[in-house]
Every structure is written in C-alpha cells, then in structure tokens.
Structure 1
Amino acid sequence: MRAIRKYFFPLLLSLTIFLSTGISTYAMGDGNIDGGGGSFGTGSELNVWRNNQDGVRVTVVTTGGSVVATPIDLSNCNISSTVLNFGKVSKLQYTAGSSLSMNASYTYSKPAVALPRIISGSVNKASIAAIKRYFCSEYAAKFIASKTGIPFENLINGDYKLVIEPIAYFTHNGKNYAMTATEAALYNKLSGGALRRVLPSLTHQNLPLALFLEKSDLGYPAWTGSTSGKVSDDAIISSLGIGIVSYKDVPSEELEAPDYTYRVDTDVISSIMLTSATEVNPKNPAKATFYINGGTYTVSNIVMPSGETERSSIRGNSRTTVWTLRFCC
C-alpha cells in the first residue's frame, strides 16, 4: 500500500480516480465540451472517411477570445504532409471574417499519450468523458504549452482558454483533405453542396456533432438541437464543432488516495479525502467519480466548508477478477 498525494484542478468540480490511463496527472481545466453523432452510410473510394481518421485543432485564446498563438493540429494518425487543407485557422478567425485558402502543405503533431477517439464511427464511438479527461489533464496542458510556446504556468493562470475543434481526414473526389467542421461547412457552401451530396454523415453529422458547447462561451451558444442526424451549414458555422477548456476560477483541490489490489471476491470500501480551498456548498456541490475496471461509481452532493476536509467512499466487490483501484500520478 502506498499513499500518493497530488495537487490538481478539478473538471467541473468532479474528482476522479481512474484505471489504465496513459495520462499521469488528471485535471487542470474545466471542459465545456459535449458531443453526439450517428451511424454512417456507405461511400466509395473516391469519397470516403475511414473510421479512425480524426484529430483536433487546438487554439489558445484569451478569456476575451483573442487568438494568442498559431493553432496546432493533433492526431494519432499518420497523415501525409501533402494532404489538402486550409491552413491553421480557428473557428474564431473564420467567425471574424477569415476566408478559406487552400494549402497543399500540412503539419501536425502526434502526442506521446494518444488522443481519445474524437469522431464517432459506425462501430467505435467517441466518449465525451474521455475527451474531457484528456484535454483537461496536466499532460495535455503541458503538451499544448510546449507546442505553442506559451509557458505552462502562464497557460493555466486563468488568462487563457483552449478552443478544441474536431478534424476529419477524408477523401473527396479522389483527393485527400483535412478539415475542421467549420471548414467543411464553409467549403460545402462555396462548392454548392458538394460535400453534403457525397459525405453527409461525416461532414454534416458526426464531424460537427463530435464537439459542441454545454454552455455559451466566447460568443458561441450552447447547442440545444438534436445530437444526431444531419445539420445545416449555418448551424455548424454558428454553433457546432467546438469545445472549450477554461482555467479561470477553477479552485485547487487536494486528493490523497492509496493504491490497492484486491483478491477475487473481496468486499471493498475505498475512500479518498477531499480538501477544498473554497467553500463547496449545496447550491454547487462537488462529486467524486471512481473509475474501476470499466465501471463508473459516483458519489454526489459533496459539500464542505473552505479549508475543511471531507471523506468520500464507495463499497464494491471484486467478484471474479482481481480488482485494482489506483490513482496514477
């Protein structure tokens, strides 16, 4: 048994312990991200998206929405440097009046800790919980800081936000493209509907609905429409294909958690001590979510005075397999 002590920032005041993750420290930011999608139809080799060909564009902006560094593209895939694209332009810049400009040279970064699935396919579905955990993690913040040239301490000091946009890599009329949801909608309008005619389930469903806002921010509204089915170009441009990670006013917390491995068929009570520097009251309670062997266990309505400590615990049984509960740091 080994006690581990780590200071961190919570995701939506949700404290989590999780298993088998490649991200060593959890939660630097507050993720304003949600998503949906649906099933795919069939396509042809001239117009096709293969299920795992996705990524994200990350733009660092001020809390007022000013872009402070060139956006970066991230993907787990091996993408050709000659894939057609529209450069490193964010949704905020398109909203401000930037126009599409085709580029035949493409650069991106492949994180050492793989991205979660971003765009749901016909078989494998994306997990918004996994996307939030990834982009609100210390690892992601440090990686993005290193790629944008913004010191890590400055990135998380409350002056900046991350704008996250889903990217699809696909073939259209025999040519390979990289596009964000906003770029696909703008291109579709300019081409008289060329993308929606041949790739509607990708460009007007699963790509734009991969990420959208839970609450309004940076001038973009929370998405209250359907989370499946085809959406219009205008809806995509105004509201979809965007998630935001905030660092401002996210209170610091302390989590102390032991590592345990339990024998088969053992009754287990696992607990963590929670300490908050600010009051957590019934109007805005915290919750502790335990991720154990694929299961999710949540303790809700946690309240505590400023500077006080509260214990959160769950009870379970290891049943037929060895049960490991671990907070990795």
Structure 2
Amino acid sequence: MKKIIIILLCIFLITPVVIFGADGNIDTGGGDMGGVVKGYKWTPGEEGVRVTVIKDETKQPVTTPIDFTNVKNPNVKYHFGKVSKISYKNGAKLTRYSTATKGYVSKRPSSGNIPIIIKSNNRKPDMKKIKAYFCDKVFIQTLSKLTGMNYEELVCGEYKLLIEPIGYCTIKGERYALTAHEAALYDEQLKGTLRSKMPSFSHKNLPLSLFLENADLGFPAWKGTTNNKQLNSTIKEKLGLGIIYFGNESEEEKPPEIDIKPDPPNPNPPKPDEGGDEGKDVKEYEYRTDTDVISSVLISGRNRTPDHPVNVSFKIKDKTYTMKNIYLPKKGGSQYAWVKWHTPKTPEKIIITVSSNATSETSKIIANVSDLEEKTPPDPKAKDKAEPKYTDNNGKFKIPNLPDDKGKTTSTYGEWDCYWIPHWVYYSDGEGGGEWVDEGWWEWKWIPYTVNLSATMNIKADSKTLTAKSNGKEIKSGYGIELKVDANVSYNAPEGSVTGAQNIVTYYPEFYYKEYNRVLQTIKKGYNSSFELKNNKYCPFNDKVHFTTLWFTDGKYVPYGNVMDVWTPEGMLSLNVNDFINIKGNLYQDYHFGPIKSVS
C-alpha cells in the first residue's frame, strides 16, 4: 500500500504543467531598499504569493484569493483587499484598506516554506523549485481545504491556478502588502512616487519575478528584457503572474491519434525540412533611417518540438540575432521568424543573411534604408495665386477630394506552441515488481497575434491668431494652423515583434495633397505616440505652424497625414488621418489701411 501511494504522488507531480517564465527572475540590482530613500524600503525575504482558482472556460475567479507567506508576522498596516490580477483586468478598482478597519490575513503553508520568488542581491530564485512547490500534492490539498473546493474537482482539468507575487514593503514609512499589479495601480494614484522612490522593487524585482512563457487566460507571454524597470501599463498587462493547469488523462487511457490542423491555415503548404536555398526569392524591404523595424522570413517544416526546435539567425552588418525555440506541428506547418532591429542614421543598402535549420522562404533580405525627406512648402506671399491647373474656368480654386487610401491598419500572425501530454503506463516484471513509463506525446497549439493601428489628427488655429472663432476651428485664410497627431498601436503579441508608429508625413489641400509635404516631429515615443509640426522657418516667431494660403477658397481646409512605420512580421501598418478647420474670409479683413490722424 505504501508503494502505491508513492507512485500516485509522482504521477501528480508530473501531470500539472506550469506556465512560468523560464528566465522569470531578474538579475541583481534590486535588493534591500533601505538607505536609498527614507521611508521607502523592501527587505529581501519579505514576500509571499496570492493564489486564485480560475475557471478555465469562463476565465473568471471561482474562489476568493488566498495569500501565502513564510513571514511569521507581516505586520501590515495597509493593503488592497484580496483581489486577483484577472479581476483588476475585468474592471475591479484599487481600494486601500487600513488593517484597523479591515484586517489583513495571510497563511503560512503547511507544505513547507515557499521557495524564493523575488530576486535580490543575495537571494536567487530557482524556477524548478518554484514549479515543483506549487505542483506538489500537499500544497494543492491545502488549497483545496482553504477554498472549500473538492480536491478531485480542483485537479480535474477545468480549473487553473493564478499565482501572483506579493511584496511586504514600507511606503511613506507605513507597512504595505501588495501584488505587482497593485503596485502599478497604486503608483498611478501616487503619480509615479513608487517608480521614483523604490523602482528596483516596485517596477523591476516584484513584477519580473513571475511572468508567462505562453499566452493564457487573456494575458500575453512576456518576451522582453528582465534587466530593466518596467512601465505601469506593461506590468498591468503582462507581468507579475504565473499559471498552473492540470492534465486530466487517466492511467488507462491510450494516446489518441494526433491530427494536428493548423489554425489559422498555413501561409504556405507545409514541406519537410530540407537544406539549401537555391532558387529562393530574395525578400526586399524599404525602411526609413533611424527607425525600429521588423524583418521576417516564413519558416516551414514538421514535427519540431522542444527536443528538436527550429532556430533562425539574421546577420545584419556585424551583428547576429537569433530567434530560438520555434516549433512546427507533426504534420507540417509554417510561421514567421523575425528580428527587431534599428536602422542606421544615414541611407544605406544592407544585405541581411538568414540561416536556419529548417526550410525558410529566403536566405537573403535586402533592406533599402533611405531618408524620409520633407519637401517644405514655399514661403507664402501676399501676391501668390492658385496655380491655373487647380482652378475652375473663373479662376477660382477648386478644393480637392481627400485621397481614399486607408492604408493597412491590422496585422495577424502567430506562433506554434508545443507542450507535452504525459501518459503513464505500468510495466510489470512478473515478479511483483515493475516500473512506470511515461509514453506521452507532444501536442501543438496555434497562438494567434493581432496588431491594430489607430490614430487621430487635431487641427486648430495658431495660438497667435487672435481673430479665430469656434474654439479655434474657424480662421481667415493666410493665418497659421497648429497640427498634432496621436497614434496608438494595440497588440497581444510579443513586444519584440511589433513597433509603435514612428513617422508621419502631412499633405495639404492647396497643393492638391502632392508636390509639398511636412514631416512631423515626434514628441512622444512608444506604442502610444504623439507628433506635431516642426518649427516653421518662415514664421517670424519660429512657431510650430503651417500657414494657409491667402487665396484659399472659403470652406473646409482639410490636411491629412500618413501615419507609418508600424512594423510587424507581416509587414508595415499605415493609416491616413485628417481633420479640418473652416476658412471664412482672409486676413486682410482684420486690418484697416488709412491716414494717421495727427495729434496736436
């Protein structure tokens, strides 16, 4: 009987699959915050975890979160209740509680001390120990009792465990308990105080202690660096969590026939791995200087697993970048391999050499890097007139129609994931003994990614136009306008496979949206970026304006801008945006010319 119990325990320990970052803990640089800023401190070892049971089908919590810690007395004065990251994602608000009005409860696990989760100078987490601890049957049984869930139901395969690191720290001289998600939300309320006072803990060590290798429960995988402090938005979306799920195969089940059907369909028909690149087309890109870009190739093959993954290398000038651990399904499939890199500051033609241990669409990429040149409109003069080709028979300027090119605003691509399905079979030696053998198999799952580009343009009268009306939306011709564009790139893909909008060129109706343009300058970089006009050399005050022509016809004056250089493995996204200002009259109507009355 004793032998049977041991065997069943070993089966349980191998059955759960844990989605934690394999490199989920940061390098040194955090540690004890004491002595850095008075009143703000985190001491290594002052940590715990919040565990929530999630229904996989609905992605909703089914139990109240439970905090576990090795700390005998966390001595917490303030906390934010027992709210999970998934509840915050679904709209739960951050509410601070004093323990005097609402006590804080944590549990010391009966299954032994929790392994180190949050890294510090002298404490190094061991991911194998972390995975083993939370997959241990004793811990799961403890969780079952505390939540009131039946143990067999908990491990039946319909539920997942959401694990969040907790830090016990001092903020403004008071003791707090908070998760990484709560630290980000609280920092927003404090207008960046935590990020400025104790960033190594609140925005680096704590959130990067746990993250996902693969997207799950609506949270994306983290593919970024583990060496830098992170933005609040990044922490809320991607960091400070691990997920455990349970297999439900019985010992008697035989492995089924695997019939992998790619979803979505493969871009190219699958081919077996083969060597050589003869006859393959050369891939070519047009890039701008000093820009983050993505270069990609399509990789095809079959039956690529963690035991035999695909690796693709891109040699760009004197550097080599490698995308590792690409998986392809048993019956064949394809996906993009990509590299994110920054173009030089001067125009150049760069040959990128691609090498892989699988079939790729090409072994060479040509990157044509060129300047984004502005053809600045000429200095507007009082005697200027509309060009005859832009006027009607009466010499009146004809307002042109906007270009109808909407660009490409959505990109869809993905990656294959590969995971092991254990299937244990007992082989008897006929003499009362025997052994268990895992005769499991690999399975694959397509992880889809979507990137969307949106943008808005805002035009208003130059701040020095004193006769503007309608909140700056009506001016007389000849005056200047201010122009700003805000661009947003939303995505559920790895950050290494997507860039924000980086360049915008604007065109104007007096030139029929051709001949002349203005390249906007960036005032905010990233996935939420902003752009505005550069200083106008023809403006007496060197303002950031564009002057309308004196002869422009009364009516809507509609500039438009081409938002571009949003790069994904599928290519570049772009979007045309526009806004208008009403022209009524001309600036001469604001002036009176006549003799000056003498003053005696």
> Contact conserved, 2:204 with 2:230, CA < 8 A, in 1?
yes
Q: CA deviation at 1:278?
A: 3.1
> Contact conserved, 1:277 with 1:306, CA < 8 A, in 2?
no
| 1:127 corresponding residue in structure 2 | 126
- Alpha-carbon distance between aligned partners in 2 of 1:3 and 1:306, rounded to the nearest angstrom: 16
Which secondary structure state, in structure 1, belongs to the residue aligned with residue 78 of structure 2?
A: coil
The aligned amino acid for 1:108 is: S
Moved more, 189-198 or 81-90: 81-90
Which secondary structure state, in structure 2, belongs to the residue aligned with residue 26 of structure 1?
A: helix
> Contact conserved, 2:424 with 2:437, CA < 8 A, in 1?
no
- Alpha-carbon distance between aligned partners in 1 of 2:197 and 2:250, rounded to the nearest angstrom: 48
| 1:111 corresponding residue in structure 2 | 109
The aligned amino acid for 1:110 is: R
| 2:60 corresponding residue in structure 1 | 66
TM-score (norm 1): 0.71
Backbone CA RMSD of aligned residues = 3.0
Residue 303 to residue 144, structure 1, CA distance change in 2 (3 Å): closer
- Alpha-carbon distance between aligned partners in 2 of 1:50 and 1:8, rounded to the nearest angstrom: 36
Q: CA deviation at 1:7?
A: 2.0
- Alpha-carbon distance between aligned partners in 2 of 1:52 and 1:251, rounded to the nearest angstrom: 38
Which secondary structure state, in structure 2, belongs to the residue aligned with residue 131 of structure 1?
A: helix
Q: How does 1:261-300 map to 2 (within 5 A)?
A: 277-278=254-255
> Contact conserved, 1:280 with 1:306, CA < 8 A, in 2?
no
Q: CA deviation at 1:29?
A: 1.7
Which secondary structure state, in structure 2, belongs to the residue aligned with residue 186 of structure 1?
A: helix
**1:57-97 deviation digits (Å, cap 9, x = unpaired):** 00001013111010000000023454311000000000011
**1:197-240 deviation digits (Å, cap 9, x = unpaired):** 11100010010000000111000001011122111101100000
| 1:31 corresponding residue in structure 2 | 18
> Contact conserved, 1:29 with 1:250, CA < 8 A, in 2?
no
| 1:169 corresponding residue in structure 2 | 168
> Are 1:93 and 2:81 an aligned pair?
no
Residue 61 to residue 9, structure 1, CA distance change in 2 (3 Å): farther
- Alpha-carbon distance between aligned partners in 2 of 1:96 and 1:31, rounded to the nearest angstrom: 23
> Per chain length, whose mean CA-contact separation is higher, i.e. which structure has more relative contact order (CA < 8 Å, sep 6+)?
1
Residue 221 to residue 171, structure 1, CA distance change in 2 (3 Å): same
- Alpha-carbon distance between aligned partners in 2 of 1:251 and 1:214, rounded to the nearest angstrom: 23
- Alpha-carbon distance between aligned partners in 2 of 1:117 and 1:305, rounded to the nearest angstrom: 31
- Alpha-carbon distance between aligned partners in 1 of 2:209 and 2:422, rounded to the nearest angstrom: 36
The aligned amino acid for 2:80 is: F
Residue 94 to residue 3, structure 1, CA distance change in 2 (3 Å): closer
Residue 3 to residue 209, structure 1, CA distance change in 2 (3 Å): same
- Alpha-carbon distance between aligned partners in 2 of 1:305 and 1:175, rounded to the nearest angstrom: 51
The aligned amino acid for 1:32 is: I
Q: CA deviation at 1:26?
A: 3.4
> Contact conserved, 2:30 with 2:204, CA < 8 A, in 1?
no
> Contact conserved, 1:87 with 1:106, CA < 8 A, in 2?
yes
| 1:322 corresponding residue in structure 2 | none
> Contact conserved, 1:8 with 1:252, CA < 8 A, in 2?
no
> Contact conserved, 1:9 with 1:250, CA < 8 A, in 2?
no
> Contact conserved, 1:204 with 1:230, CA < 8 A, in 2?
yes
Q: Quick one: percent identity of the two aligned structures?
A: 35
Which secondary structure state, in structure 2, belongs to the residue aligned with residue 147 of structure 1?
A: helix
| 1:47 corresponding residue in structure 2 | 40
> Contact conserved, 1:75 with 1:115, CA < 8 A, in 2?
yes
> Contact conserved, 1:182 with 1:241, CA < 8 A, in 2?
yes
- Alpha-carbon distance between aligned partners in 2 of 1:283 and 1:117, rounded to the nearest angstrom: 34
- Alpha-carbon distance between aligned partners in 2 of 1:183 and 1:246, rounded to the nearest angstrom: 24
| 1:156 corresponding residue in structure 2 | 155
> Contact conserved, 1:28 with 1:141, CA < 8 A, in 2?
no
Q: How does 1:96-245 map to 2 (within 5 A)?
A: 96-104=90-98, 105-112=103-110, 113-245=112-244
Residue 81 to residue 48, structure 1, CA distance change in 2 (3 Å): closer
> Contact conserved, 2:156 with 2:248, CA < 8 A, in 1?
no
> Contact conserved, 2:46 with 2:168, CA < 8 A, in 1?
yes
Which secondary structure state, in structure 1, belongs to the residue aligned with residue 182 of structure 2?
A: helix
| 2:495 corresponding residue in structure 1 | none
- Alpha-carbon distance between aligned partners in 2 of 1:280 and 1:308, rounded to the nearest angstrom: 21
Which secondary structure state, in structure 2, belongs to the residue aligned with residue 52 of structure 1?
A: strand
Which secondary structure state, in structure 2, belongs to the residue aligned with residue 101 of structure 1?
A: coil
Q: What count of residue pairs does the alignment treat as equivalent?
A: 260
Which secondary structure state, in structure 1, belongs to the residue aligned with residue 230 of structure 2?
A: coil
> Contact conserved, 1:33 with 1:211, CA < 8 A, in 2?
yes
Residue 280 to residue 114, structure 1, CA distance change in 2 (3 Å): farther
The aligned amino acid for 2:216 is: D
Q: CA deviation at 1:126?
A: 1.1
Match for 1:76 among 70, 74, 77? Answer: 70
**1:271-294 deviation digits (Å, cap 9, x = unpaired):** xxxx985379976689xxxxxxxx
**1:94-132 deviation digits (Å, cap 9, x = unpaired):** 001111111122101001211111101111111111110
- Alpha-carbon distance between aligned partners in 2 of 1:196 and 1:238, rounded to the nearest angstrom: 17
> Contact conserved, 2:75 with 2:175, CA < 8 A, in 1?
no
- Alpha-carbon distance between aligned partners in 1 of 2:52 and 2:181, rounded to the nearest angstrom: 14
The aligned amino acid for 1:137 is: D
Q: CA deviation at 1:178?
A: 0.5
> Contact conserved, 2:76 with 2:177, CA < 8 A, in 1?
no
- Alpha-carbon distance between aligned partners in 2 of 1:27 and 1:111, rounded to the nearest angstrom: 21
> Contact conserved, 2:15 with 2:422, CA < 8 A, in 1?
no
Which secondary structure state, in structure 1, belongs to the residue aligned with residue 7 of structure 2?
A: strand
Residue 48 to residue 311, structure 1, CA distance change in 2 (3 Å): same
Moved more, 151-160 or 75-84: 75-84
